[in-house]
Homo-oligomer: A and B are copies of this chain.
Amino acid sequence: MQIRVINPNTTLSMTDKIGEAAQRIAAPGTRIVATSPASGPVSIESHFDEVVSAVGVAEEVLAGEREQTDAYIVACFGDPGLLAARELTRAPVIGIAEAAFHMATLISTRFSIVTTLGRTGIIAEHLLQAYGFAHHCRRVRAAEIPVLDLEDSGRAALERIIAECRRARDEDNIGAIVLGCGGMADLRGEISREVGLPVVEGVTAAVKLAESLVSLDLGTSKFGDLAFPRPKTFTGRFEHLSGIGG
């Protein structure tokens, strides 16, 4: 089974890290292909960054389709371009935010989210509402660290995340914590040990959900509103997308 893990930003060290975390958790027969778009922002910390990255996500699905990919993962906590990605393939497509929310509700009754920057909290709130998990989440918290600080080798960012997770544990009346950034894919174990309650991380969760759907022979429904797009002309910089769909 081949799963294409799409890091929607263009920071290759993060793509590698995410790919390694994904491969580590993957089943023996699963091959992880970690990619990121050729074009896009180096990190995603705003609605604007999301919008641009979503095109790259779609293009990475199109690239994956040329290789008979079995499943896709969108590895940014805002799940950018998720529904568009689903339209482009019969394979399942999983966002890491939704993956983490699903898993967290299976092991606890209430969870909190610890994300990077306060300004992206609204993105998590919107997803919680759209997906139906709003009443399962007690609070969206931010450690106030820029995403790329997670790429530093030092422990400063990690310590801030752990501190915020401890506050969540002590104040929020929860059973689990959801880590709110794809760049935290390698931190789950340590944070969980330090904080002492289950910590759900989206990349790893998404890999297992993707494998699950493939095993179940459940792909994105092509019946109704996730059917392939109607092919049409795209102009200018997006001309190469003309005729996509079916």
Of A125-133, A156-164, A179-187, which stretch is located at the interface?
A125-133
A175–B42 alpha-carbon span in the complex (Å):
26
Specify the chain B residue showing the minimal Cβ separation from A205.
B216
Interface residues on A, range: 35 or more
In the complex, the answer to whether A41 meets B208 with C-beta atoms within 8 Å is: no
Q: Is the CB of A55 within 8 A of B46?
A: no
- Chain B nearest CB from A164 CB (Å) reads 15
**Alpha-carbon distance A170/B175, docked complex (angstroms):** 28
B135 with A106: CB separation less than 8 A: no
Q: Chain A residues in contact with chain B, CB under 8 A?
A: 10, 25, 27, 37-43, 45-52, 54-55, 57-58, 81, 83-84, 86-88, 92, 94, 98, 102-103, 105-110, 118-122, 126, 129-136, 146, 169, 173-176, 196-198, 200, 204-205, 208-209, 211-213, 215-216, 218-221, 223-227, 229-230, 232-239, 241, 244-245
